[in-house]
Structure 1
Amino acid sequence: MNSAEIRQEIVVGVDPRGDWHPAVAWGADEARLRGLHLRLALSVPPRHDTQHVDDAPHHGRLEQDGRRTLEAAISWAHARWPETEITGSLLDGFPGRQLALLSRQVRLVVLGSRHLHRVEEILSSGSVAIPVTAQARCPVVVVGHPEGGGQDRPCLVVGVDGSAPSKAALALAFEEADLRGCAVHAIAVWQPPVFSLRTGDTLFHNQRRLLHETVAGWEKKYPDVRLHHEMQIGSPVEVLAEAGEHTLGIVVGRRGEGGYTGMRVGSVVHGLLHRAHCPVITVPAL
């Protein structure tokens, strides 16, 4: 999509059945930093009328509840970020689908997380974070409830593996860090293969070289952003989630392919959305 067609706004998905405050706060603060319009969007699932059941009364109640929740969220955000332009949209359709469609036109989508178990996530029509992250054309931020403390470390953790999506993630991490006045902690995680014709040392050093090549030049472009980069050995999900504890967030590229939603997200992103307690920012390839 041509950048001229992208609206200069951030969309926050408001969940009428969950705590929407963390996601709205993150989105409003981001809109303030970037000088963008903030749109709060709440989607009411469609009616399921059949020959034998009239779903109109139930759908009407959902719509009324949704409108009240959306108005409350707008009022709450206006009171705390009065300088930011904030509007609301009440949409008709499955939330995941509607927010994925909006992602084609906006700069950023912000969502809350209910931390559904994997089976619940697959079976529930209310699952939003995974399908939107999988299909979005723009970066998606998933903000979980701030369990176990706040953001003690003023930095953004970014996963680096040399791929196009991870380079896009690194670019966004530096852009965000520059806006927020924080550091970037770039981590390349090496998971030893079960079987390889090359020695472990060779593979490890190749990965380390790739890390240095990937981060080269970014400090010059963003001289006010402090960069720390390192190699770690282990599971990418566990290493990144642990490094992200009490930070401003974890930034990762989305590299999954295929028709199934979970495959399009990729195993690392999928794991982080379940494991990490800080915000997880997923970036599609440039």
Structure 2
Amino acid sequence: MGKYILVGVDDTPESQIALRWAVEAAQERGSAVRVVRAYLHEVGNWPALGVEGYVPSTPPVDLYQADLDAAVRFAQDRLGHERGSGWLANQAPADAILAEAVDADMVVVGTRSRNKMSAAVLGSVATSVASKAPCPVVVVRGDRRSGPVVVGTDGSVDSDEALAFAFEQATASGQPLTVVYCWRPQEQHVESAESTSELLKNWLAESLEPYRAKHPAVRVKVSVLEGRASAKLVDLSQDASLVVVGSRGRGGVAGLLLGSVSQSLLHHADSPVAVVRQRQD
């Protein structure tokens, strides 16, 4: 079922959590896992290079290889030998992951726990991969847990891609699916907010029919909420197993690869977040 799930690892606990998440997702989907362990040594940047009598130390490639071998063995022990592979890449981590993502169904990367410095902690690798990968990217925070898959939609093409991925993930994991549409009523129309919400709920339920037909086993809850999508989805992430969003929503500006909602979730969500870009033909 699919090509493989790609996961980036290093020597941090967060990457081990991402590895476990990827392997468990592969077990559910019947997929393979490919592990990337990247490192980057730029000999020309060593300050002592060129000093007479100086012999630069050998980069600890064996340590990187050991990280990779352990991760691949972990995947193979749980998926079978033929469904676990790896690549040791002398490249910047984001570049290595993006190179392999071309043939992946999904990319999984880890990030640190949410805290007051979360925007800085997310890191350039997760941000770059989520912005540029040609397939869905799951940024994992914390151990895997049960709970609904939550997906935000706004009727855009990007959110259609997010819906398709969310239904697939709910089917594979056996978790229920909560589809969320957020809107902000204008003050002058407060008296019609209730009727507008009902109309939106009916429209949303009707728009989901093709996905329901393709994934009849998924238990679907439709939720129309008043308020900012980023804030509502962050709240829902507290009990979710995964929150899924498109990379840009309605009104996205060309060149801004991650919209405000996806950025906010990557920085502040309590659960793993999947960012789904529009497929490029």
After TM superposition, the score normalised by the length of structure 1 is 0.81
Match of 2:65 in 1: 67
Partner of 1:26: 21
Q: Percent identity?
A: 29
Counterpart-to-counterpart distance in 1, 2:57 and 2:277? 37
For residues 126-180 of structure 1, give each alpha carbon's deviation from its aligned partner in whole angstroms, at most 9, with x where no partner exists.
621111000010011111123xxx6342x21110111111111111111121122
Name which of structure 1's ranges 111-120 and 13-22 shifts more when overlaid on structure 2: 111-120
Deviation string for 1:2-42 (max 9, x for gaps)?
A: xxxxx811110113244322211111122222222211101
Distance 1:211 1:158 in 2: 12
Q: Look up the match of 1:183.
A: 176
Secondary structure in 1 matching 2:139:
strand
Structure 1 position 272, deviation (Å): 0.5
Match of 2:125 among 93, 104, 128: 128
Over the aligned positions, Cα root-mean-square deviation in angstroms equals 2.8
**Does the 8 Å contact 1:15/1:112 carry over to 2?**
no
Amino acid at match of 1:156: V
- Corresponding position of 2:119: 118
1:85-108 C-alpha deviation (Å, 9 max, x unpaired): 111111111111221222222111
Q: Which moved more, 1:86-95 or 1:250-259?
A: 250-259
> Take 2:175 and 2:81, find their aligned partners in 1: how far apart are those partners?
23
Alignment of 1:168 onto 2:129 = no
Q: Name the CA distance, whole Å, in 1 between partners of 2:133 and 2:58.
A: 27
* Closer, same or farther: CA 22–34 of 1 in aligned 2, 3 Å: same
Q: CA deviation at 1:207?
A: 4.5
In the alignment, which residue of structure 2 is the partner of 1:274?
267
Counterpart of 2:276 in structure 1 is: 283
Any unmatched runs of 5+ in structure 2? none
1:10 aligns with 2:11: no
Q: Which runs of 5+ in 1 are unaligned?
A: 1-6
Match of 1:254 in 2: 247
Change (3 A) 1:285 1:51: closer
Q: Compare 52-61 and 265-274 and name the one that shifted more.
A: 52-61
CA contact (8 A) 1:38 1:84 kept: no
- Contact 2:6–2:106 (CA under 8 A) maintained in structure 1: yes
Report the alpha carbon displacement of residue 114 of structure 1 after superposing the two structures with TM: 2.5
Distance 1:141 1:105 in 2: 16
CA contact (8 A) 1:190 1:207 kept: no
Q: Partners of 2:95 and 2:132 in 1: how far apart? A: 9
Structure 1 residues 182 and 120: CA distance shift in structure 2, 3 A: closer
Once residues 27 and 120 of structure 2 are traced to their aligned partners in structure 1, the CA distance between those partners, rounded to angstroms, is: 37
Q: How many residues align?
A: 265
Q: C-alpha distance in 2, partners of 1:46/1:160?
A: 42
Is the 1:138–1:283 Cα contact (8 Å) retained in structure 2?
A: yes
Structure 2: which amino acid aligns with 1:60?
Answer: P
1:38 maps to: 33
Cα separation, 2, equivalents of 1:27 and 1:113: 14
Counterpart-to-counterpart distance in 2, 1:33 and 1:258: 35
- The 1:152–1:104 alpha-carbon spacing in structure 2 relative to 1, beyond 3 Å, is closer
Larger Rg: 2
Question: In terms of mean alpha carbon deviation, does 264-273 or 74-83 score higher?
Answer: 74-83
